[in-house]
């Protein structure tokens, strides 16, 4: 079947290159089942997604030996216990090296599935069927797979690229508004870190994005994936540029961990984290404060949080930031910016300045 709105990209990684397909109805129409070489398939999904979309996926896998594991929704499920269960599922299935793991869901299911696929028999194929905006524009692309520990997010994981990313935009019709907005934070990130023109396009289309205009959403997904695919192609394992994709994430992960993976969604933490990174950049005289304002204004227009949550503790957050994977030799390595569209890696940030920035933000929050 043809799909007139289909957008196609490719992550150029030599022998491990793979397609990203974006369009309505792709779960049913795209030829992703043909990528499954073997007989055994493990599908991971969650309780919000499976009732809507699992039947469509199962329908495409007739003739295969399929096991499904449906998790309760949410970040707390991205843990070692769930990893062990999925590995058990593969063992029960007697899955051979040509088995495939299918991730049907958001970033939680995607990150967990990818890690399971990376570890079973030292690495089997997996296919990403992302169903959140965040997963379509970020987590399904690029092969970062992981589970969380109580000590910090994504601390156990592997780089393992999917065989394909199939973003069926029709699945977004059931995505709650808050989750859509959380995905928009990662979309804004691409403009903020490296593309002021895209940022301006997002400013012009903020209302259409919130209204879920299908063409505007599809364009935002495609442009985001273009950015991600290009960065991943030149720095798959984050030896350099790829770290720029973490703009706002060191602050954001600390907020998420402090929050014990509960209240704040990942994209919401990233929104607050990006504003903190911009603020710190301005306080370090690296960037104009007016750009922090412009970023915060767009995020606020998208109904995303931009202030520290009430009660956030600067000392605790700084402590958590010290465990970030980007740090080297115990030094705080942050992604900051020289202004809109100009993110940069700053290798040895003065912890006192970070603490002061967090304390200022906390004080403003308390007084404001």
Residues that bind ligand NAD (CB under 6 A): 46, 48-49, 73-75, 78, 105-109, 111, 131-132, 134-135, 138-139, 142, 144, 153-154, 171, 174-175, 179, 182, 266-267
246-275 footprint of ligand GLY as x/- string (CB under 6 A): x-----------------------------
In whole angstroms, the minimum distance from the beta carbon of 111 to ligand NAD comes to 5
236 binds, among ligand NAD, ligand GLY, none (CB under 5 to 8 A by kind): none
Q: Is 122 a catalytic residue?
A: yes
Q: Does 138 bind ligand GLY (CB under 6 A)?
A: yes
48 binds, among ligand GLY, ligand NAD, none (CB under 5 to 8 A by kind): ligand NAD
**DSSP state for residue 13 in the 8-state scheme:** -
Say which residues have a Cβ less than 8 Å from residue 275's Cβ, sequence separation at least 6. 248, 292, 295, 296, 299, 306, 307
242 binds, among ligand GLY, ligand NAD, none (CB under 5 to 8 A by kind): ligand GLY
Q: Is 154 a catalytic residue?
A: no
The interaxial angle of helices 314-321 and 351-367, nearest 10 deg, is 140
- At 97 the three-state DSSP class reads coil
Say which residues have a Cβ less than 8 Å from residue 158's Cβ, sequence separation at least 6. 114, 115, 118, 119, 145, 146
Q: Does 245 bind ligand GLY (CB under 6 A)?
A: yes
Cβ atoms of 249 and 335 closer than 8 Å: yes
Cβ atoms of 202 and 181 closer than 8 Å: no
DSSP character string of 120-150: GGG--EEEEEE-SHHIIIIITSS-EEEEEET
Interior angle at CA 44, CA 43 and CA 45, nearest 5: 120
Residue 305 φ then ψ, to 5°: -70, 145
Q: Does 160 bind ligand GLY (CB under 6 A)?
A: no
Q: How many CA atoms lie within 13 A of 329 on its CB side?
A: 3
Q: Does 130 bind ligand GLY (CB under 6 A)?
A: no
Among 223, 249, 294, 333, the one annotated catalytic: 249
Q: Does 144 bind ligand GLY (CB under 6 A)?
A: yes
Q: Is 353 a catalytic residue?
A: no
Q: Does 131 bind ligand GLY (CB under 6 A)?
A: no
Q: Is 40 a catalytic residue?
A: no
CA distances in angstroms from 199 to 5, 189, 202, 334, 363, listed in the order given: 24, 9, 5, 21, 29
In whole angstroms, the minimum distance from the beta carbon of 306 to ligand NAD comes to 18
Q: Does 24 bind ligand GLY (CB under 6 A)?
A: no
Q: Does 114 bind ligand GLY (CB under 6 A)?
A: no
Q: Is 266 a catalytic residue?
A: yes
Q: Is 144 a catalytic residue?
A: yes
Residues contributing to the site for ligand GLY (CB under 6 A): 138, 142, 144, 242, 245-246
């Amino acid at each position: 079947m043809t799909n007139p709105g289909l957008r196609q990209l490719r992550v150029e990684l030599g022998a491990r290159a793979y397609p990203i397909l974006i369009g309505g109805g792709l779960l049913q129409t795209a030829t992703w089942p043909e990528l499954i070489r073997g007989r055994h398939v493990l599908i991971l999904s969650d309780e919000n997604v499976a009732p809507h979309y699992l039947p469509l996926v199962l329908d495409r896998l007739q003739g295969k030996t399929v096991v499904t594991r449906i998790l309760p929704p949410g970040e707390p499920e991205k843990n070692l216990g769930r990893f062990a269960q999925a590995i058990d599922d593969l063992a029960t299935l007697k899955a051979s090296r040509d088995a495939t793991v299918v991730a049907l869901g958001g970033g939680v299911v995607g990150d967990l599935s990818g890690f399971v696929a990376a570890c079973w028999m030292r690495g089997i194929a997996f296919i990403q069927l992302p169903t959140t905006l965040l997963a379509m524009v970020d987590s399904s692309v690029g092969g970062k797979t992981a589970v969380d520990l109580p000590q910090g997010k994504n601390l156990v994981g592997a780089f393992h690229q999917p065989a394909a990313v199939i973003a069926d935009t029709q699945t977004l019709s059931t995505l709650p508004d808050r989750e859509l907005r959380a995905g928009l934070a990662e979309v804004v990130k691409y403009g903020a870190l490296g593309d002021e023109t895209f940022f301006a396009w997002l400013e012009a289309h903020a209302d259409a994005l919130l209204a879920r205009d299908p063409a505007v959403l599809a364009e935002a997904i495609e442009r985001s994936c273009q950015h991600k695919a290009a960065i991943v192609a030149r720095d798959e394992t984050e030896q350099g540029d790829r770290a720029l994709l973490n703009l706002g994430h060191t602050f954001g992960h600390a907020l998420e961990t402090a929050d014990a993976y509960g209240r704040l969604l990942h994209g919401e933490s990233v929104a607050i984290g990006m504003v903190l990174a911009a603020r710190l950049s301005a306080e370090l005289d690296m960037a104009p404060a007016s750009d922090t304002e412009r970023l915060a204004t767009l995020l606020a227009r998208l109904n995303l949080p931009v202030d520290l949550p009430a009660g956030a503790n600067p000392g605790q957050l700084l402590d958590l930031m010290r465990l970030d994977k980007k740090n080297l030799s115990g030094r705080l390595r942050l992604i900051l910016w020289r202004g809109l569209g100009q993110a940069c890696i700053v290798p040895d940030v003065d912890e006192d300045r970070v603490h002061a920035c967090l304390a200022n933000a906390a004080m403003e929050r308390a007084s404001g």
